[in-house]
Amino acid sequence: MKRFVYINDDDLSPELYCDNRISNRKYTLLNFLPKNLWEQFSRFMNQYFLLIACLQLWPLITPVNPASTWGPLIFIFAVSATKEAWDDYNRYLSDKKANEKEVWVVRQGSKKLIQAQEIHVGNLVWLRENDEVPCDLILLGTSEPQGVCYVEGVIECPNPDKDIRRFDANVRLFPPFIDNDVCPLTIKNTILQSCYLRNTDWACGNETKLGMSRGVPEPKLTAMDAMIDKLTGAIFIFQIVVVIVLGIAGNIWKDTEARKHWYVLYPDEGPWYELLIIPLRFELLCSIMIPISIKVSLDLVKSLYAKFIDWDNQMVDLETGTSANATNTAISEDLGQVEYILTDKTGTLTENKMIFKRCCISGTFFGNENGDAVKDVELLNAITTGSPDAIRFLTVMAICNTVIPIKSPSGIVSYKAQSQDEEALVRAAASLHMIFVNKNSNILGINPCSLWVIT
Active site residues: 344
Q: How far is Cα 169 from Cα 182, in angstroms, rounded to an integer?
A: 10
Q: 403, 417 in Cβ contact below 8 A?
A: yes
- Dmax (CA) for the chain in angstroms is 120
Q: CA 416, CA 40: separation in Å to the nearest integer?
A: 50
Torsion (CA) 54, 56, 61, 63 in degrees, nearest 10: 170
Q: Are 174 and 183 in contact (CB under 8 A)?
A: no
Percentages helix, strand, coil for the chain (3-state, rounded to 5) are 40, 20, 40
Element counts in the chain: helices (H) and strands (E): 11, 20
Which residue pairs from 149-152 have beta carbons closer than 8 angstroms and sit at least 24 positions apart in sequence? 149/204, 150/183, 151/7, 151/8, 151/106, 151/124, 152/7, 152/8
Q: Is 446 helix (H, G, I), strand (E, B) or coil?
A: strand
> Rounded to 5 degrees, what are φ and ψ at 361?
-120, 115
Containing 396, the helix (H) or strand (E) segment is helix 388-399
Helix (H) or strand (E) segment spanning residue 204: strand 202-204
3-state secondary structure of 77: helix
Dist CA 82 CA 105 (whole Å):
40
Are 426 and 436 in contact by the 8 Å Cβ rule? The answer is yes
Give the integer Cα–Cα distance in Å for 191 and 193.
7
